[in-house]
């Protein structure tokens, strides 16, 4: 299953970009990062048999283990792609939220988009590590 991060804006060359790249390279599953122009509302069409996950402050906060189990469930049900969408400054529209397979929250705080990319990449690495029984994750 492809782990696809769809993000608004260009990250350019920055410490955040290096951090995102570092975690994406460590993930053993296929990964892809697509950057969209800030003003663009058009996202690439979601392939059939895929799941859309929107990062949204009103979403569900999952532990790393819970996220791993979601990935496992989607992978084992034959999903081709898990698309994680980071919205623009105004977030996602109501139509996008209502059609998503999961609204995922990193808590009630407001996070800069560049940090959210790094946080998401790290959590995807952590979740896939959990599924591979890799010692990276240490349960509290």
Structural contact between residues 11 and 20, judged by C-beta atoms closer than 8 angstroms? yes
List binding-site positions for S-adenosyl-L-methionine.
55, 87
How distant, in Å, are the alpha carbons of 1, 94, 129 from that of 10?
25, 24, 28
Structural contact between residues 137 and 126, judged by C-beta atoms closer than 8 angstroms? yes
> Containing H/E element for 33?
strand 31-36
Residue with tokens 């690495």: 125
CA separation for the pair 102, 83 (Å, rounded): 10
Three state DSSP letters for 8-19: ECCCCCCHHHHH
List binding-site positions.
55, 87
């Amino acid at each position: 299953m492809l782990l696809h991060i769809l993000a608004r804006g260009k990250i350019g060359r920055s410490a955040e970009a290096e951090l995102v790249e570092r975690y994406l390279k460590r993930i053993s599953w296929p990964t892809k990062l697509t950057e969209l122009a800030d003003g663009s509302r058009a996202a690439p069409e979601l392939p059939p048999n895929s799941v859309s996950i929107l990062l949204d402050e009103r979403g569900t906060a999952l532990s790393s283990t819970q996220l791993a189990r979601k990935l496992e469930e989607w992978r084992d049900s034959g999903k081709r792609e898990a698309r994680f969408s980071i919205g623009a400054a105004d977030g996602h529209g109501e139509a996008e939220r209502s059609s998503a397979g999961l609204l995922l929250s990193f808590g009630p705080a407001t996070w800069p988009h560049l940090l959210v990319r790094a946080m998401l990449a790290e959590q995807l690495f952590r979740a896939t590590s959990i599924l591979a029984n890799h010692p990276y994750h240490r349960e509290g």
